Structure 1
Amino acid sequence: MNQHLYKQFEMTRGLFLRNVSNVPAEIVDIQPEGFNNTIHWHIGHVLTVTEQFLFGFPKKSAYLPEDYVEWFGNGTKPADWKGAVPSVEELVNQLQEQLVRIKDIPEEALDEKLKKPFLGLETFRELANFAVFHETNHLGQLHTIKLLVERTVVKN
């Protein structure tokens, strides 16, 4: 993978994982009023969507169970979870492993055209850059939920 793009992934994923490590376990599954999801969901969502964008999950990637799309895909929410949802610790390990696999994406693959444009993106490189943006967006959501829960729910 392009060194510059990988550095963006490495920095963003590092910040994401550091923020996750600072979330007390007792609040990861609290869903504040007005929010559709929990910190636990955001962690799994970043993993799942990045796997979809960069590795063609679930059709082309076998690194995650197919259930992840049902738990963490777009439009899902913890209120609908069925079955044994992976723990935050398991998701963190998978996020770390995924970063290693991201680095191994061949440089020439980045300039491949997508079969169908996605959100106006036409190449794999553009999609990879969007994946970084997507992760930072959810990092902000994770941070917001953590602050809100710590300042309201936990103190009451």
Structure 2
Amino acid sequence: MMEYLLNVTRQTRENFIKLIESSTVDELNAIPQGFNNNIIWNFAHIVASQQGLCYLLANAEPVIESQYIAPFRKGTKPEKFIEAEEINTIKELMRSTIDQLEQDLKSDKFINFTPFKTHYGVEIKNADEAAQFFVVHDALHYGIASAMKRVIINNEK
């Protein structure tokens, strides 16, 4: 079951990468009217959230640098323009972090997990449940980013 859920997460992330690749850097950084963040923030937020929910809550060392976690955590907003080079790095992290997570779940790296209640009202008691939660979380942020893209395109016309 876990392999299936991780594959659904991978597919959502690949769909998100296609959205990123079909957008300009300016579109990715634009904050559409009615929103408080942008497409690239939602993209990076997925990676940051995975690190927080799985690694940090288990008192394990994150597998990415803090510069890709802190600015994109829940409750943050875009603070700077994200250039193409950094966008490409985040794309690489989008793929590599899910692969690393799969390995770390198999090796029982997350034994000291601190239970956490999400904004959905769902309690996550271990890293396996956190990984399962990403199916919903990633899809939500992909959907938000897709809506932003439609607003941006319609405003460009």
> Separation in 1 of the partners of 2:13 and 2:109?
19
| Structure 1 unmatched runs, 5+ | none
Q: After the TM superposition, which residues 1-156 of structure 1 pair with which residues of structure 2 at under 5 Å, given as runs?
A: 2-56=2-56, 60-78=60-78, 80-81=79-80, 87-107=86-106, 109=108, 114-119=113-118, 120-152=123-155, 154-155=156-157
Shift of 1:18: 2.0
Taking structure 2 as the reference length, what is the TM-score of the superposition?
0.80
Shift of 1:34: 1.4
Task: Answer yes or no: is the 8 Å Cα contact 2:60–2:109 preserved in 1.
Answer: no
Deviations 1:25-75 (A, max 9, x none): 331111111111011111111111112122228x63343222333311111
Task: Answer yes or no: is the 8 Å Cα contact 2:9–2:135 preserved in 1.
Answer: yes
Task: Answer yes or no: is the 8 Å Cα contact 2:113–2:125 preserved in 1.
Answer: yes
> Separation in 2 of the partners of 1:62 and 1:111?
11
Taking structure 1 as the reference length, what is the TM-score of the superposition?
0.80
> Separation in 2 of the partners of 1:110 and 1:62?
11
Q: Paired residues, what number?
A: 152
Task: Answer yes or no: is the 8 Å Cα contact 2:115–2:126 preserved in 1.
Answer: no
Partner amino acid, structure 1, of 2:102:
K
> Separation in 1 of the partners of 2:140 and 2:104?
23
Shift of 1:105: 2.8
> Separation in 2 of the partners of 1:91 and 1:102?
16
Identity %: 19
| Paired residue secondary structure (1:129) | helix
> Separation in 2 of the partners of 1:142 and 1:100?
23
Taking only aligned residues, the RMSD between alpha carbons, in angstroms, comes to 3.0
Structure 1's 114 and 63: CA in aligned 2 closer, same or farther, altered over 3 A? closer
